[in-house]
Amino acid sequence: MRFKDVFSIIGPAMVGPSSSHTAGAARIGRLARQLFGAMPARADVIFYGSFAATYIGHGTYSAIVGGLLDMETDDIRLPDSLRIAAEAGILVEVQTGKGLFPHPNTAELRLYRKNEEEPSFTIVGTSIGGGNIEIVSVDGFKVKLTGQYPTLVIWHTDSPGMIAEVTRLLQEEGINIGYMSVDRKNRSGQAMMAIETDQAISAELLEKLNGYPGIQAIRLVK
């Protein structure tokens, strides 16, 4: 195998046992928490493939819940995350899924706010090896997020000039776009941009974006 970097060999700093099944799961949970914007009152976790077969033995369940509690991959509290979540009054239910899934290590999270009967946020993430992840779906939009770079996720109306205006504001701030994915549910309906950048996103830029007509919500992953 061609050598890429030291990280490819040693993996992330983590609480074990597995970079894919533990560290990757924690990162999926933590990124979901950042995109949700708050601590969920309830979380439904659905595991697919290898995750579904080994989530108990590899600590995948406690890792993903730890991520939802905003724990890093090397947080020593990860093995106790289920108890910590229960003490905080967070209801977490786990199940194994069937059917098609994008990667052998796939998790779907459905997050609820207080007093909600239906989830207000859904995310599908995959653990692709060495603790690296890809988020492939957010609220039903097909996107690609790695969590390795500052990332803007923007819910907006599908309208002419929206993408151009967002990229113009980034350019004015001297921010380079490393990767961008865009999806919409229907013409002139709801749409989403996911933009990974090379530079940090300032609070001032977030304020400008939040004030732009047609933008419904913004989350910053960093």
Tell me the residue type at 47. F
Write the pLDDT tens digit of every residue in 109-149: 999 999 898 999 999 999 998 788 999 999 999 999 998 99
pLDDT tier, 19 (very low <50, low <70, confident <90, very high otherwise) = low
Q: Give CA 32 to chain center in angstroms.
A: 4
Q: Give CA 214 to chain center in angstroms.
A: 23
pLDDT tier, 91 (very low <50, low <70, confident <90, very high otherwise) = very high
Cα pseudo-dihedral 89, 112, 156, 34, rounded to 10: 40
Query: Please, are residues 64 and 51 in contact by the beta-carbon 8 Å criterion?
Result: no
pLDDT at 211: 85
Q: Give CA 128 to chain center in angstroms.
A: 14
Q: Of 9 and 135, which is predicted with more confidence?
A: 135
Write the pLDDT tens digit of every residue in 174-208: 999 999 999 999 888 999 999 999 999 999 999 99
Cis peptide before 17 (omega within 30 of 0): yes
Type and span of the H or E element at 50 = helix 49-54
Nearest-Å Rg of the Cα atoms of the chain is 18
**Mean pLDDT, residues 15-20 taken together:** 56
